[in-house]
Amino acid sequence: MLVPADRQVVITGLGVVSPLGNSTQALWEALCSGRSGVARMEDWFPAPGKLGAPAKFNGSIEEFGPLEPELKKAIRKGLKLMCRECQMGVAAAQLALADAGLRPGIYEPERCGVVFGADYMLSEQYDLVPAYQACIDAKQGFDFSRWATQGMTQLSPLWLLKYLPNMPASHVAIYNDLRGPNNSLTLREASANLAVGEAFRTIVRGHAECMLAGATGSRLHPMRALHAVIQEEVAADGTEPSTACKPFDLHRQGMVLGEGAAAVVLEERQAALARGATIYARVAGMGASHVSSRNGVARRRDALAHALSAALREAEVAPERLGHIQAHGLGTQSCDIEESQALHRVLGPAAQRIPVTAAKSYFGNLGAASGLVELIAGVLAMAKGNLFPILNYTTPDPECPIAAVRCGTLADPGHSFANLSVTPQGQASCVIVCRAS
C-alpha cells in the first residue's frame, strides 16, 4: 500500500513506562548516559543470576499522567480489574494522549481508535491460591473433581478480565471515548510494530483520523521467565547486571528479561496541523513476515529480511538512503547473527555503513512492549540529532558485521530509521519512521 500524499501519518504523542523511567526525558537521559535498567531480582526469580529489568512503576494513579478529575476517578476505580501489564499499558496510553494534547471533546470519537499489542497474560499465583487450596484432598493431592464446585467459586467473578490481552485497548477506548477502530494483537515481540502498522494503515485507508497505538509486555512473571529459561538463550549466572545484555558483541551470553509499556498517538497530518499539534515524526511504511520450516523451526533471517524489504518499499525509501537501524538486538548468539544476515541481504553494501543501535542493551527484552519503546527511542534520537550507542558493545563479532554505534562516538541518526522486531517463532515486523519535514 503506497501512502497517498494527502494521507500522511504523523506521530504527535509519546508515552512510555520502562525500566529506565516513565517519561521520554528519563528514557533519553538513560540512553545518553549509558545507564542500564537491569538489576538483581527477588530470590524466587527463576532466571540465571536473578537478572531482570523491572519497570519503574508501582500502579499509583499519579503515574498515569495529568488527568481530569472524572477520568482520574474512573481509572483509579478500574485498577483492581487490571493486572500489572494492563496497568502499565493504560498508563503509557494516557501519557501519550496527554503528550499529544488529546482529550474528549476536541476530537470526533468515531474517527479515533486504538490498536494495542500484548503478550499472553498469566495470572498471578496469589489470585489462584484460594481456589487451589479448596481442591486439596486429605492426602494433600489435587482433586480435580472439586474444581467446578469448590475451586472456581473461590475466584473473583471478574478474575478473567484482569488477564485478557484485549483489555488494554478496551480500557483506553472506554476511558477516553475512542469509538473508532479497535483491535488487539498478541504476537509476542512483533506486536508493537504490528500495532503501529495497523494504526498507520487504518488512517491511510481513511477509516480514522487519529489512532493510539500501544503495546505492553512482561517477561518477569515467574512462569513466563521459566518458559524463557527453558526455551530461549538467557544471560548466564555470574554476570554483572549492567553488563549482562550485549547485543552483537562477540561475548554476548543471552537476553535479559524485562517489562514495560509504550504508546504513540498517530494522526493524519492535515488534521494534526489543523489543531496545532506537535509533530515528532512521520510513519512511512511497515512490513511483516513469518517464516519457519515445515518442522516449525523459525527462520528469523528470512522473516526479518522480508519485513524490512516490504517496509522500505511501502515507505519508498531506498535501502542505501536509510538513516539508521533500531535493531531487535536481542543479545543471543543465534538471533543477532540472523538479524545481521538479514540486514546485509536487504541493504547490501550499505549494511557496512548504516548505523545500528540496540536499545535492549539497556533494558533487556520487554516482550510485546520492546518494539514500541525502541521506536520511541529512535524518534527521540532523530529529534536530538544523535544516536545512543549499543551498551556493552566492546568486541565486534565477525559473524555480525554491522556498523554498530559504540560508546564515545557520535552517529547521525539520519532522516529515517527502520525499527525491527522478531519472535522466537519467526514472526518479524518492521516500521519505517521518517523526519516530519
pLDDT of res. 127: 81
pLDDT of res. 288: 98
For Cα atoms 192, 198, 199, give the angle at the middle one, nearest 5 degrees: 90
Distance CA 424, CA 339 (A): 12
Distance CA 332, CA 424 (A): 11
What domains, with CATH codes, occur in the chain? 9-122+163-434 (3.40.47.10), 125-160 (no CATH)
pLDDT of res. 1: 62
Three cell numbers at 266? Answer: 498517530
In what helix (H) or strand (E) does residue 109 lie, and over which residues does it extend?
A: none
pLDDT of res. 353: 96
Q: pTM value? A: 0.95
Distance CA 77, CA 71 (A): 10
* Closest by Cα among 137, 178, 154, 224 to 13: 178
Low-confidence ranges of the chain (pLDDT < 50): none
Distance CA 84, CA 369 (A): 13
CA quadruple 126, 130, 133, 135: dihedral sign: negative
Three cell numbers at 209? Answer: 483520523
Beta-sheet strands, E only, within 219-304: 257-268, 281-290
pLDDT of res. 437: 74
Could you tell me how far CA 324 lies from the centroid of its own chain?
Answer: 19
pLDDT of res. 5: 66
